[in-house]
Structures are given as structure tokens and as C-alpha cells.
Amino acid sequence: MAKNLVIVESPAKAKTIEKFLGKDYKVASSFGHIADLPTKELGVDTESFSPKYIVSKDKKDLVRKLKGMAKTAEIVWLASDEDREGEAIAWHLAEELKLKSDTTRRIVFHEITKSAILNAIENPREINYDLVNAQQARRVLDRLVGYELSPVLWRKVKGGLSAGRVQSVAVRLIVEREREIEGFDAKVFYRIDAEFSNSEGKSFKAKLPKNFDSKEEAEAFLKDNLGANFKVADLTKKPAKKSPAPPFTTSTLQQEASRKLYFSVSKTMRLAQRLYEAGHITYMRTDSVNLSEDARKGANREILKAYGEEYAKTRQFKGKTKGAQEAHEAIRPTNFASHSVKAERDEQRLYELIWKRAIASQMSEAELERTNVKIEANTHDKYFTANGEVLKFEGFLKVYLEGSDDEDDAEEQSGMLPNMKEGESLENNYITATERFTRPPYRYTEASLVKKMEELGIGRPSTYAPTISTIQNRNYIERGTVEGTEREYVQFTLKKEAISEKNLTEMVGSDKGKLIPTAVGKVVNDFLVNHFSNILDYNFTAKVEQSFDDIAEGNEEWTHMMKEFYKDFHPHVQDVAKNADREVGERILGEDPDSGKPVSVRLGKFGPMVQIGSVEDEEKPKFASLGTDQTLDTITFEEAMKLFELPKELGEYKGERVEVNNGRYGPYVKFGKKYISLEKGEKPLDVDFDRAKELIVEREKADAPIYEYEDKPVQKGVGRFGPYLKWNSLFINVNKKYDFDNLSEDDIVTLIEEKKRKEIEKVIHNWEEEGIRVEKARWGRSNVIKGKTKIELPKTVDATKLTLEEVKGILEKNAPKKKTTKKKSTAKKTTTKKKTKNK
């Protein structure tokens, strides 16, 4: 047995580190945390705030195995990540494995390279209990908030909901932005653009710096330019420099990968984790912009070699983030000589982005020449301006330019302006006055939300990605799918001494890919803001993060912080649970003209709905689901009443009734027993029989077999994961190397045979008489399958060694408990209604 046992969090990290250490070292993985708070109870003593950590069932075998390995090792090296969570993992390992302090070493490194690992082993330290306590404080506070607020939401809003300290604040940001957009009143203005030519006939564009507020002013200005002579009133040329951005922190990597590579925040972190564990980049959870001296020298060597001396400029950046605490260096390549890496394509793209950003940070400024021209007319006193920019020396721009989230970036003159001199006469080619509209604030993208959270001090590098994933998984936030709507605008053009008018159209209001609050998200946010405004206060959340930083630095005692928080929080939760009214986002729209009953919208069991009548009436209320493009806040009385026209019968086709309706998952056409979704943006009330028939025929064509194999039909379709074939109850993904629209017989047979082979290969055990199988699953796990029951086994279980009796025991242990039926109470719930004006 090896003298030294090194324990890390992940198998990938273990595999990389093992390459650097000799035969005296055994590297094992803890597969993340081995101990945590229990899932089915609070797990925190609310007097002393001591947490109750337990080893979960799926980790017990692993802990037993690690204990055995630790007993036979002379020294145990705890090599989990260097941030607070990593320190907590090291502490849990020391506690659960009962490691002795004299034979235990804690080592940290911010890159997985041979030199870094060996240096860490030469410089071990003890577990940093300040970092551990900061992590405990976060875990306990978040458990208290979530565990106490969530049941209040179940009783007062809707079952199955949850609240969280950071996630609820993130939802608030998105809800408030959406309400700003809904309440925005666009104002019209007119923008003036022009094109001029110099004496050599070279043309360039210019604009009037000030816009006009009305159509009359814009038209009058164009008339002022009839018969005008134009000349260069002023011309200035100034040198300018552009400096590179600092190397990546966690948040700037997430933002830039979103802008440039279109990755979600969670995908970026997943890929960065793999790159780190493979030894390609430094630790990816950091808010530092520092580069070590060795890194700066490495970057300088590569710049001199690849680009030359004039491109090199060593610099150190100073971070702006208050309380930067995770790692001590920015995200960078471990080897600047590697411009790319051998990896899966998206990992490779992310690595190249990190390499470019880090190398550019150590390169010279770009040198520019900016030209500004003022143009005057002899018929009025307003000036046109033109701006040009010429790149004199590329500098860092040879490698990289930072992206921007600002959708209002002005359209500047690209490239250089033609040669001109003051007093030179210019020929006007045209002048346009274009109707424009003020824009509402932009919806958040994942990247811009991370940026805002960082600005407000909400969360830390390790929390951005899980927070954004959580609020989407809980259906508080969704990604927009609307392409936009068509809007008309007018443009006046002065050309050849004549003014013309033209009506144009443009697409506006697209929310595709943006973060939008759902009806549930809005109602939950309103309830929490109304009753727990201090928890959802941005300053409070930032102050809590600062307290965690203080604990990590040894300047605050963590249980004292818990006591101060809980003494006010707990009584307040009890008061709200007892006295607050239910919140379903109800809004009274008006009165039904036929029955005289109130018409209202509110959040129901299956989402937002409109209701005629109330539960107090003898007659059962009528309900209709809102369309996917309608919201509780903005739907009008007229729009709500139209929804009661659904389901709408359209006729008969092939002897089956055809109708259109709104459903839980959006609008659809029902044909016999088939449900066919409408296209995005299509409204059910606009669908007639011909359109419904078109959709039915399309579905029939899609469902029709394209081939028969082994006397079974082969169908093709496109699902959420892309194109597929369906054969013998198997779904077979069709990858990009095949032409999906023109699959040949050989293609179909190859795809089916490959799938059959994979299905056979993934079977670990097959007890046919018992109807039980054990199969390989994703991410190194395995599944026990019996009929429709599927049980995922943890990574730590070696499925190849399972016996039939053990598998039967697993099935029995995980069998669903029989439900005991209780009589439902007939008491009616009361709701507080708020009346609002029709919009």
C-alpha cells in the first residue's frame, strides 16, 4: 500500500494529479462533499446554531473505503479546492475519517500542474477554520431561510414552491425589470442622418447630434436644407489609445462566454471545471484579476515569440470587487505556449477564449487616430458631425477585443474618413429624418444578470451559476422565445432638392434568450417583498456577503452572526404564517355582462388563469388558461373574455372532431386523440379549420413510417435534443454527419444497428425471469430497472459486483410507500382581491 494518500473532490482531478506523483502516492476522490445537512429536517440547533452533518446513504460505502485507505497510509494529504467550499470538504474528511492531526496535511494549489502539486506538498498547512466557518455560516443561513420561508409559500401562495436568500433576490431583479418594461411609455423622436461627398467624390456618413421631438420639427429642418451649401467648419485629429481588459474572473468569464460563445452560465462553469481538472487552466472560481509573476513572465515569453517585442507590455491589474476572496489569481492558461488544447470542441473554444484574454492583458495598447468633423450649412445654424477612427498599431487587438452587453452602442463611422480640410465645400447626397422610439430597459440575459449581481455584491463566484440554474429549474424565470412584433415607422428623405416620405417596418420587442419572470415568479416575488422586504433587500444581501468575508478573515464569530439574524427573522416568519392573507396575484378586471359575476385573473394550480365568479358562489366558477404571451399584470378585460371562446370547435377531418385550445404547455390543435402544438407566437383564436388541417397533415407526414426494418416501422422526428429516429420503442439520435432530410437505407440500418449494439453494451446484468436489469447510465452511474421503475445508483456503487438479491433489496427499499387517503376539508380559502383599472 502507498505511504501517502491524497484525497481530492473529483475522479478527473485525481487522474490528473496521479500522473505527477510517484508510486508512494495513491490519489483517491471524495466525489464532492461526503457530509452535509440532512434533507428531511432542518438539521440546525436554533439555540447554539450548531449544524447536524450526516453522511448520506450513497456516500457511506465510499467513506468506509476512504477510512480503510487512510488507516494504512502514513500521511493523508487533503487536496480539495482552495476556496471556502473546498476547505469545508477537507474539514469534513478530517472529521468523518477521524484523521489524526500529526499525520494529516492540508495542501492547496490554484493550478493542476506538476510544479504546483509538488510545491504544495513541500508547503503544507493546517485546515483554515475561518474559511470553514464562513462556509458553515453560508450553508446554515441559507438552510434557515429556505427551510422557514418555503412552508409559508406553500400555505400562502402555492404548494411545492421554495425560497432562498440569494435566488429570491435574483428573481426580484428580473421581476422589477419586467415591470419597468411593462410600464414603459415609448416616446417618438426623429433622428437626422446624412451622406456627404468631398471634392474627390469620396462619400462618408454624418449625423445631427440633437434629435427632434416631433414630425413637424424634422420636416421643417429638411426644408431648411433645400438649396443649402455645405462645407467643413471644423476638423480635428487626435491620437488615442485603447487598453486591454484584465484577465478573467469567474463573473467576467461567464459574461464573455455568453456574449461570444453563446454558452449558458452553468455550461461555462461545467466546461471550465473540466479544463481545470485536466490541468489546462487555473482555478475557475475567483474574483481576483491578479497574475502571478511566473504567469506574467510566461505570457511575455509567448508574446515575444509569437508577435514580437513591440506587442509586449507586462502589467498587473487591480481588482474592483470588494471582498475578493476566492482564489488568489485570475483565470488563465497554465501554459501560455499552448494556444489551444486537445479536448471536446466547446472545451477547446472556452480555453481559447481564456488564453486570448489572458495573453491580451499582457500586450501593448492599441494606437488609434480619431478624426472629428463638423459640417455647416449656409441656411441654418445647426452642425452635422462625422467621426472616424483609424487603427495605427494593433497592439492587443491583434488577439482579442472585449464584448459588450450594451445594446444601445452607437453606430459609429467604421474605418477612416476621406481626406478633408477646413473650409472645403461638400456635396450633400441625401439627408434623412427617421422616426425612432425611446427604448425600455433591456431584459436581463444570464450574463448581464451576473454582472448586476456582482455590482450589487449579491453572491460570490461560486454562487452565480447555481443561483441562475435554480431560479429557472423552479419555474420562477424562463427564457424568452418571442421573435418580436412588426412596427411601422416613417422616414423622410431630402434628395436632389426634393423631400419624399416612405413608410417602413421593423421587428421590435424580441425577448428571445432573455430572462423573463413567470406568473409564479411574480406572485412569489410580490409575497416575499410585501412580507419579507428585509430579506429581499439588496443592501441586506450584500451586507450578509460582507459578513461571510469578515468571518473568513477571522474578524467575526459565525454563530454570533446567526443569532443576530435569527432573533428577528424567526418571530417574523411565524407572524406572517399566522396572519398574512393568501397571495395568488388576483386582479379584478370587470364584470361578466351575461351573469354579472366578477371577472378576475389569478395564479391557479396549473398556472395563470382567468375566472368568472368565485368559490363562494353556488354555481361553480368558469376557468380559462392564459395564453403563453399573456400575463396577470397586463391582460385586459376584453382579452380575458375572449379566452372563454376556447376550446373552439373548428370542424371535422377524417371523421374526427378538430378543436383548438390553450393548454398547460401552450396552445394546441386537438385532432381525435392527438395534440398538436401551434407554432411559437401563433394564437389559438386566430387558427381556422384550414390552418388546423395544415398542422394535422404535417403531423401525419412526420408520424408516417419512412422505412421498415425487421418488420417494424421506422419513424423520424425532431425533438428537444435534435433530430431522431424511432424504431421498436427506441429513440435514436441522428447526429450532424448524416443528412437528416435525405437519409439513405444504409444510413437508417447503420443508425439502428449502432443503437442496438449500444443497448446491448450498456446492460450490466439482465435477470430475464425476474424482469430486472442493471444498465450503465450517464456520468459513470448505473440504473436498476424493473418495469417502469428506474433507480439511479450513486457513482460509488460498483454495479458489476451486484447480486440479484442485492438488487432486489435496492428495489424493495426504494419502493413507493402506499398513500393513506385523507378526507379533504370542505372549508373554503379566502383571498384578498385587489381591484385595478382595465388597461
For residue 224, give the C-alpha cell: 431648411
Strands (E), 630-702: 648-653, 656-663, 666-671, 674-677
CA distance 183 to 441: 11
Cα 202 to the center of its chain, rounded Å: 47
Three-class SS of 66-96: HHHHHHHCCEEEECCCCCHHHHHHHHHHHHH
The 10 Å Cβ neighbour count of residue 435 is 18
CA distance 715 to 725: 6
SS3 state at 638: helix
Q: Which amino acid would we find at residue 361?
A: S
Q: Which helix (H) or strand (E) holds 784?
A: strand 782-786
For residue 206, give the C-alpha cell: 454624418
Residue keyed to cell 426494418: 709
Q: Which amino acid would we find at residue 478?
A: E
Closest C-alpha among 69, 52, 152 to residue 103 = 69
CA distance 613 to 619: 8
Looking only at the bridges linking them, the beta strands covering 25-29 and 4-8 are: parallel
CA distance 354 to 349: 9
Cα 315 to the center of its chain, rounded Å: 32
Query: Does 283 participate in catalysis according to the annotation?
Result: yes
Whether 762 and 774 have beta carbons less than 8 Å apart is answered as no
Phi-psi region of 711 (alpha: psi -120 to 50; beta: other; left: phi over 0): left
Whether 243 and 296 have beta carbons less than 8 Å apart is answered as no
CA distance 500 to 264: 47
The 10 Å Cβ neighbour count of residue 815 is 11
Q: How large is the angle between the packed helices 129-156 and 558-579, nearest 10 degrees? A: 0
CA atoms within 13 A on the CB side of 436: 16
Residue 467 contacts by C-beta under 8 Å, 6 or more apart in sequence? 164, 166, 167, 170, 453, 459
Catalytic residue among 25, 283, 464, 707: 283
SS3 content of the chain, % helix, strand, coil (to 5): 35, 25, 40
- Residues with a catalytic annotation lie at 283
